[in-house]
């Protein structure tokens, strides 16, 4: 197991479009393992490769529900619908939280760790996390979408809901 250092804002790698993955080899599998360990240790629900200094279209999401971990390689959003307003944070922005409006539903095409293409759908908080991570792969940060910053006392109120 290897915990990777998390790149914090500001850093150029966080704001550029990542390159496509073309090799689905043991190095990729090791990277995915390390990203998972790093995300869990940091108490996150998602992590994108640029956040650990790798300029590749790789992201993982695990919101601790029955879905388990989702590995997205070269993901592409096929469809969205509805909308939801909720609070987001990001491991690259310690102590920053804010309300972000996003589609309620998302349909995504991606490749798995073996390069096999698959399609999945997500709703609600899982859809939010998936979209946040795909944004990272396009160099888009959640702070550009925050409509209201949330301070710590408000955050506690959100968590009680």
Contact residues toward Co ion (CB under 5 A) are 90
Kindly list the strands in the beta sheet with 105-111, ordered across the sheet, starting from the edge strand earlier in the chain.
46-48, 58-61, 70-81, 105-111, 117-123
Indicate the residue among 24 and 124 with the shorter CB distance to Co ion.
124
Indicate the residue among 94 and 114 with the shorter CB distance to Co ion.
94
Indicate the residue among 24 and 93 with the shorter CB distance to Co ion.
93
Measured from each CB, the residue nearest to Co ion is 90
* Residue 133: active-site member: yes
43: left (phi over 0), alpha (psi -120 to 50) or beta: left
Min separation Cβ 9 and Co ion, Å: 9
Phi, psi of 142 (to 5 degrees): -65, -25
Min separation Cβ 26 and Co ion, Å: 27
Query: Which residue is catalytic, options 19, 133, 156, 159?
Result: 133
Min separation Cβ 78 and Co ion, Å: 22
Catalytic residues: 133
């Amino acid at each position: 197991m290897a915990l990777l250092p998390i790149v914090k804002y500001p850093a150029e790698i966080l704001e550029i479009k990542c390159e496509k993955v073309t090799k689905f080899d043991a190095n990729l599998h090791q990277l995915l393992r390390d990203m998972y360990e790093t995300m869990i240790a940091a108490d996150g629900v998602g992590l994108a490769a640029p956040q650990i200094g790798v300029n590749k279209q790789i992201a993982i999401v695990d919101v601790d529900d029955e879905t388990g971990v989702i590995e997205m390689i070269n993901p592409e959003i096929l469809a969205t619908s509805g909308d939801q307003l909720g609070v987001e944070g990001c491991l690259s922005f310690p102590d920053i939280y804010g309300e972000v409006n996003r589609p309620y539903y998302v349909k995504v095409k991606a490749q798995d760790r073996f390069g096999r293409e698959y399609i999945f759908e997500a709703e609600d908080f899982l859809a939010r996390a998936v979209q946040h991570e795909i944004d990272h792969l396009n160099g888009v940060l959640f702070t550009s979408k925050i409509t209201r910053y949330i301070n710590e006392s408000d955050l506690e109120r959100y968590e009680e809901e």
